[in-house]
């Protein structure tokens, strides 16, 4: 394929894998980002000139239109986990998605992929989940032929889930989590990229697909598996949701008073999200309909979490030496 695809947020965690997969399939790619000077690494995903980072702010019509001209397909990967300044949930995940879809319709874009999230629901307590649902609705109004992907927690070498908690596990004997019994269905980032690529290639029918890996585990069980991989013994302590809300409020206040110097490790909206299971809904279309066999966590996590072991890459060497006769 030698068509042109614009990937909004194509240098982010999931976006970079989608960009790489599309480049492998022969697409020319515009990676639309707010800081193209920090996204130069995406050029290495394809031949010279095949992948190009370009400036775009999805809150600006003219900016979005400029990167959409001539595009045959669009992937929108832009999303945030916490609000900062003008980057609000509504501006990014609802209004931004609508702006991209509306301009894509105007330019006659044939294929459109929207990256959403499991739990997207207009009636949810979490604003993150509500604006994800609003973004989906807006996309389908303007691009009814769109493919919407709703992944569970996404894992991979650059993830902000396992890497974050593995880093915390190095700091003390207790690993605190909010919502220890909430269930997740972690999905490998390369599987999400393959799903997006299949949609752009026109290999799947339009609709909403919920993407979860082969393993469904509680937050506590996921932390136990992570701790086993990094060879650390820690007590996984559950923080009740009521206390979590107080912590989110306190951290949020500290961030505001410090003008963003202090970063909130958890927000009240994230606590609301953690109160809901994050697994594929019964009867939902997913990897089976996409023709993809999802990857198990045990096949991938050791490949990048080894650096959190007490002796890093030398841990296995030490274990082997202890077994010498």
pLDDT tens for the chain, residues 1 to 325 = 579 999 999 999 999 999 999 999 999 999 999 999 999 999 999 999 999 999 999 999 999 999 999 999 999 999 999 888 888 999 999 999 999 999 999 999 999 999 999 999 999 999 999 999 999 999 999 999 999 999 999 999 999 999 999 999 999 999 999 999 999 999 999 999 999 999 999 999 999 999 999 999 999 999 999 999 999 999 999 999 999 999 999 998 898 888 778 788 999 999 999 999 999 999 999 999 999 999 999 999 999 999 999 977 656 656 655 665 6
Q: Could you tell me if residue 308 is inside a domain?
A: no
Q: Could you tell me if residue 309 is inside a domain?
A: no
Q: Could you tell me if residue 307 is inside a domain?
A: no
Distance CA 165, CA 228 (A): 13
Distance CA 69, CA 247 (A): 46
pTM greater than 0.75 (yes/no): yes
Angle (nearest 5°) at CA 249 between 13 and 130: 55
Residue 255: the pLDDT is: 86
| DSSP for 121-146, written as a single string | -TT-SSHHHHHHHHHHHHHHHH-TT-
Q: Could you tell me if residue 71 is inside a domain?
A: yes
Q: Could you tell me if residue 101 is inside a domain?
A: yes
Q: Give the number of domains in the chain.
A: 1
Distance CA 195, CA 147 (A): 10
Distance CA 101, CA 297 (A): 34
Residue ranges of the alpha helices (H) in the chain? 13-24, 61-68, 89, 96-106, 127-142, 162-168, 189-200, 219-229, 241-257, 268-274, 287-290, 301-305, 315-322
- Spell 74-103 as b/e; 16+ CB within 10 A means b: bbbbbbbebbeeebbbebbbbbbbbbbbbb
Q: Could you tell me if residue 195 is inside a domain?
A: yes
CATH number of 200's domain: 3.40.50.720
Boundaries of domain holding 191: 4-155+186-212+278-294
Helices vs strands, H then E, count in the chain? 13, 13
Distance CA 235, CA 227 (A): 10
Residue 225: the pLDDT is: 97
| DSSP for 181-197, written as a single string | T-EE--EEHHHHHHHHH
Q: Could you tell me if residue 251 is inside a domain?
A: no
Residue 262: the pLDDT is: 79
Distance CA 218, CA 190 (A): 23
Q: Could you tell me if residue 311 is inside a domain?
A: no
């Amino acid at each position: 394929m030698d068509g042109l695809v614009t990937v909004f947020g194509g240098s982010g965690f999931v976006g970079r894998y989608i960009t790489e997969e599309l480049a492998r399939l022969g697409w020319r790619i515009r990676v639309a980002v707010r800081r193209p000077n920090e996204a130069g690494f995406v050029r290495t995903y394809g031949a010279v000139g095949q992948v190009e980072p370009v400036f775009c702010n999805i809150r600006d019509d003219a900016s979005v239109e400029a990167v959409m001209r001539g595009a045959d397909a669009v992937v929108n990967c832009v999303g945030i986990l916490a609000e900062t300044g003008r980057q609000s949930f509504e501006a990014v995940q609802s209004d931004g998605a609508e702006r991209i879809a509306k301009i894509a319709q105007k330019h006659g874009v044939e294929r459109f992929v929207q990256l959403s999230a499991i739990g997207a629901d207009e009636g949810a307590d979490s604003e993150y989940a509500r604006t994800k649902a609003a973004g989906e609705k807006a996309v389908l109004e303007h691009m009814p032929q769109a493919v919407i992907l709703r992944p569970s927690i996404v894992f991979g070498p650059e993830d902000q889930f396992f890497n974050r908690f593995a880093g915390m596990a190095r700091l003390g004997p207790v690993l605190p989590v909010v919502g220890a019994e909430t269930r997740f269905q972690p999905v490998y980032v390369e599987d999400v990229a393959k799903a997006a690529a299949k949609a752009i290639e026109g290999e799947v029918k339009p609709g909403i697909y919920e993407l979860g890996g082969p393993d469904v585990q509680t937050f506590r069980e996921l932390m136990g598996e992570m701790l086993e991989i990094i060879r650390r013994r820690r007590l996984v302590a559950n923080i009740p949701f009521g206390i979590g809300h107080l912590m989110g409020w306190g951290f949020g206040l500290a961030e505001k008073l410090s003008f963003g110097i202090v970063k909130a490790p958890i927000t009240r909206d994230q606590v609301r999200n953690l109160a809901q299971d994050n697994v594929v809904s019964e009867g939902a279309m997913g990897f089976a309909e996409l023709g993809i066999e999802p990857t198990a966590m045990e096949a991938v996590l050791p490949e990048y979490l080894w650096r959190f072991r007490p002796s890093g890459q030398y841990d296995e060497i030490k274990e082997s030496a202890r077994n010498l006769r």
